[in-house]
């Protein structure tokens, strides 16, 4: 009867199950501890990589800013307005019996403030810029006004390839005012001349800030 006592067997089975549960709990605790340790290692490694990543991205931002400034400087140096080519072109467009007495070049910069255009979702911002305005004025004498050499000089300037490309049109030079009165040349009283002025305005260049 003692050998077949169900209570005793129940105690043994219960004790065995309790031991199994305890072992299972201990295993879980060990697994949790190990995973925490592995997680801490991964987190430490991740923080180290994030530090290096932040340093690299910061350097990339600084490099991009330097490259942008260099590009703007290069753009400014290669696209700035030069007067030497104009003087060179002028000497190739001279006609007989026309004497240039004065050249006047004007180069001005006008600041344009940034502004918003549109409203709502279609609203956009136009950044500010410096607007470069360049004009050229040529004062000259026509030593044989009967031949209308002032017209020939104007046509020579307008059709010259350099001015046609830079002014972006074939009628880039116009008479500024009217012809001056017929005047006796003080150097040679037998010769008379008229004065005239030709003007041109180059396309405006937008220099972004």
Kind and range of the H or E run holding 48: helix 6-79
pTM over 0.85: no
Helix (H) or strand (E) holding 141, with range, is strand 129-142
Pair 111, 133: CB distance under 8 Å: no
**Domain boundaries in the chain?**
1-79, 84-208
Element (H, E) at 73: helix 6-79
Ordered mean pLDDT values, 10 residues apiece, the chain (209 residues): 62 79 86 87 86 86 87 68 89 93 91 80 78 93 92 94 89 91 87 94 79
Identify the pLDDT of residue 135. Answer: 94
pLDDT at 204: 87
| Burial class of residue 142 in the structure, from the number of CB atoms within 10 Å of its CB (0-12 exposed, 13-18 middle, 19+ buried) | buried
CA distances from 30 to 17, 18, 23, 24, 40 (A): 20, 18, 10, 10, 15
Look at residue 127 in the predicted model and tell me its pLDDT.
78
Q: Which numeric CATH code is attached to 84-208?
A: 3.30.70
């Amino acid at each position: 009867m003692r050998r077949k006592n169900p209570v005793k067997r129940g105690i043994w089975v219960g004790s065995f199950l309790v031991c199994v549960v305890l072992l299972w709990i201990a295993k879980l605790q060990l697994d949790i501890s190990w995973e925490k340790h592995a997680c801490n290692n991964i987190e430490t490694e991740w923080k180290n990589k994030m530090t290096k990543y932040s340093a690299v991205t910061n350097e990339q931002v600084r490099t991009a800013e330097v490259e942008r400034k260099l590009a703007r400087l290069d753009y400014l140096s290669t696209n700035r307005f030069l007067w030497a080519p104009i003087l060179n072109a002028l000497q190739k467009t001279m006609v007989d019996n026309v004497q240039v007495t004065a050249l006047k070049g004007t180069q001005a910069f006008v600041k344009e403030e940034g502004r918003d255009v549109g409203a709502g979702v279609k609203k956009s911002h136009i950044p500010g810029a410096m607007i470069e305005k360049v004009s050229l004025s040529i004062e000259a004498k026509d030593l044989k006004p009967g031949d209308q050499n002032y017209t020939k000089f104007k046509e020579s300037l307008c059709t010259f390839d350099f001015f046609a490309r830079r002014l972006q049109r074939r009628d880039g030079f116009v008479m500024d005012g009217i012809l001056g009165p017929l005047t006796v040349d003080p150097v040679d009283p037998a010769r008379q001349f008229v004065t005239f002025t030709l003007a041109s305005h180059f396309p405006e260049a937008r220099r972004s800030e």
